[in-house]
Homo-oligomer: A and B are copies of this chain.
């Protein structure tokens, strides 16, 4: 018996060669790309420096104003919620699931968060990201790596950082997860 007609049990994508994309099809794509994640990471760095510069030029009040803009444009507190473990928070206020808790962490000055001195007030002038890996999962993504911030005296601090991202209804990435921790040092 001839079996010329039998197809092997391969998947659909393998049953044909590449197909030219239709010129006329409408493509509606809500997926986050690798490049969008890299840009958003660097955007976070730029935002941190912006808050710091605002403080150096105009003091805490100005820094707070910029920080509010950053939080409102870059975090998802109004878009479903945020899981946030900042670098330097301590129990029992380790996690900051509210906008107010995030703002206190960045610029301090909130008596409800007495241990917060304002991380973004550290005279940071430079912020660099080295990405270890990215998970792309449709309109959400996760990235992990190291961020090094440098202040105007040239002193640097490196943290291990994980960000989770979502694409909002305007197509911008927003942070839904932020876990930052000081590097562990070998004994």
List residues of chain A with CB under 8 Å of any chain B CB: 1-2, 4-16, 18-22, 24-31, 34-36, 38-47, 50, 53-54, 56-58, 62, 65-66, 69-70, 72-74, 79-81, 83, 85, 87-91, 94-95, 97, 115, 130-140, 142-146, 158, 160, 162, 164, 168-170, 172-177, 179, 181-186
User: Shortest CB–CB separation between residue A97 and chain B, in angstroms?
Assistant: 5
Whether A13 pairs with B43 at a CB distance below 8 angstroms is: yes
A146 to B140, CA, bound (A): 24
Give the secondary structure class of A's interface.
Answer: mixed
- Return chain B residues, CB-CB under 8 Å to A53: 5
CA distance A7 to B141 in the complex (A): 25
Cβ–Cβ contact B66 & A5, under 8 A: yes
Count of this chain's copies in the oligomeric assembly: 4
CB pair B183–A58 under 8 Å, yes or no, is no
Additional pairs, 4, CB under 8 Å, beyond known A14-B43, A15-B43, A30-B80: A5-B56, A12-B40, A26-B97, A94-B183
In the complex where A5-B50, A9-B72, A132-B95 touch, is A90 in contact with B162 (Cβ < 8 A)?
no
Pairwise interchain contact B57-A2, C-beta atoms closer than 8 A: yes
In the complex, are the beta carbons of B138 and A179 less than 8 A apart? no
